[in-house]
Structure formats: structure tokens, C-alpha cells
Amino acid sequence: MKKRIVVLSMAIMMVAASAAPAGAHPGRTDSKGGHTCRTNCEKWGLEYGEYHYHNGGGSSSKSGSSKAGSSKSGSSTKSSSTSKKKPASKKTAGKPAAPAYQTTNLTLKVNGEQVPMEHSPIMIQNTNLVPLRELAKSLGASTTWDPDSQTIGVSKDDNKITLTIGSATVFYNGAQETISAAPKIIEGVTYVPAQAVAKGLKANLSYDKESEVLDISL
């Protein structure tokens, strides 16, 4: 009879042992049902010195690490959202600037004779400008040039004209007037308003817009 009791007791103990949680291992627990791992920690999937529970509560260090991970995840999400660049504003393209001048097919005549010109005349502000050298030569006038003041002198007989590059001010025998377009130097060629020169030399000027013929007569 005693043997049956012993065998029965051993069977009850084995059943109780098999029903214990898989995560349990030797060691006393405190009032909270947990303790710090000191022996065979790796065997039970724990780190040495890790505080854990035997009632399924999990270890405190694992819980803390998961919170830290979620905190890092949240901060990285905020960082990525704030680091998005704003789309660059499109710049509206302005209208191309109008050319400062345009070449023309103007024919220059002096006393009815066509004047050969090495460089084409140009049009600025609806004013015909012609190469100074060819114009002065065809009119029998002499020219002077002052590089410091950028002034041009055109003279014949008692008539003298003084023009300045880039200026709409002209002097006829010292009397100041304003012309519609200023003289220009383009690619080394000096261009002057034909009308201003003709007026200063007391010449007559006619212009046929359809045929683009400018005729100066002395």
C-alpha cells in the first residue's frame, strides 16, 4: 500500500513539473514574482543580470528596448517628413529684349550718285545711321576723333558739327541741339545719323521709304 502511495506521489510531481512555463528556470522570485538571472542565462534566452518574471510578464530590459525602438521610429518618421524639400517655384521667362539696332538695305546717294559702303547702314529708333567714313568722304568733309571725350568732329567750309558717341546732343557751330538717335560704334565702325550731318553741312536731304533711298544734295 505504501509503495502505491509513493508511486502516485511521484506521478503527481512529474505532471506538475511538465505543466510549468517553458520560460521558467531555477531561482527564487521576489514579491513581484520576478528575479535577476545569475546562472545559465543563455540557456533560457536571457542575458546575465537581466531581471525577468516567471508569470509571463517578460523581462524589463526587453520591454524598455521595444519602447526605445518605437521612440526612434517616431523620431525618424518626423525627421523624414520635415526633410522633404518644397518644390522650387517656377520662374516665368521674361520676353527677350529687343535688339539695339537692325541692319537695313538703305541706299545712300550724294548728288544723285550712289555711295559704295563697306558696311551696311543700321536703323536705331526709326533713324538711319550710316558709316561716318563713307558719308564724310562722299560729302567732301573732313573728320576728327577725340578718344578721351569720345567726340567726333565733321567740318566743311565754315560749317562744323560736333557729335559724341552714345549722346543725343549735337553742336552745330557751337549751338546745341538734340537729335533722335546717338552715334554708335559697332564692331569698330562709327555710325552717325545721316540727317544730323546733312543739316550741319547745310545740305538737302530726301528719303524714299518704299525704295529705301536716302539722297543728300549740296
pLDDT in tens, 46-87: 777 776 666 555 555 444 444 444 445 555 555 555 555 665
- What local confidence, expressed as pLDDT, does residue 27 receive? 59
- Which residue in the block uniquely carries the three cell numbers 531561482? 27
| DSSP bridge pairs for 160 | 155
- Secondary structure in 3-state letters for the chain: CHHHHHHHHHHHHHHHHHCCCCCCCCCCCCCCCEEECCCCCHHHCCCCCCEEECCCCCCHHHHHHHHHHHHHHHHHHHHHHHCCCCCCCCCCCCCCCCCCCEECCCEEEECCEECCCCCCCEEECCEEEEEHHHHHHHHCCEEEEECCCCEEEEEECCEEEEEECCCCEEEECCEEEECCCCCEEECCEEEEEHHHHHHHCCCEEEEECCCCEEEEEC
- Secondary structure in 3-state letters for 65-90: HHHHHHHHHHHHHHHHHHCCCCCCCC
Average pLDDT score, the chain: 78
- What local confidence, expressed as pLDDT, does residue 64 receive? 46
Give the chain's domain count: 2
d(CA 101, CA 124): 5
pLDDT: which is higher, 177 or 87: 177
Task: Please report whether residue 195 resides in a domain.
Answer: yes
Average pLDDT for residues 110-120, to the nearest whole number?
Answer: 94
- Same domain, yes or no: 207 and 126: yes
Task: Please report whether residue 186 resides in a domain.
Answer: yes
- What local confidence, expressed as pLDDT, does residue 21 receive? 45
- Same domain, yes or no: 113 and 195: yes
Burial class of residue 170, CB neighbours in 10 A (0-12, 13-18, 19+)? buried
d(CA 103, CA 39): 101
Whether pLDDT at 88 is above 80: no
Domain residues for the domain of 193 are 102-217
- Secondary structure in 3-state letters for 179-191: CCCCCEEECCEEE
- Same domain, yes or no: 130 and 26: no
- What local confidence, expressed as pLDDT, does residue 41 receive? 72
Residue 95: pLDDT band with limits 50, 70, 90: low
- What local confidence, expressed as pLDDT, does residue 14 receive? 64
Whether pLDDT at 191 is above 60: yes
- Same domain, yes or no: 155 and 212: yes
Domain of residue 188, CATH code: 3.30.457.10
Q: What is the grid cell recorded at 5?
A: 502511495
Task: Please report whether residue 200 resides in a domain.
Answer: yes
- From the list 169, 165, 166, 187, the residue with the least C-alpha distance to 177 is 169
pLDDT in tens, 16-50: 545 444 444 555 676 766 767 777 677 767 777 77
Task: Please report whether residue 84 resides in a domain.
Answer: no
Q: Give this prediction's pTM.
A: 0.56
Q: What is the grid cell recorded at 217?
A: 544734295
Task: Please report whether residue 42 resides in a domain.
Answer: yes
pLDDT in tens, 195-212: 999 999 999 999 999 999
Average pLDDT for residues 130-141, to the nearest whole number?
Answer: 96
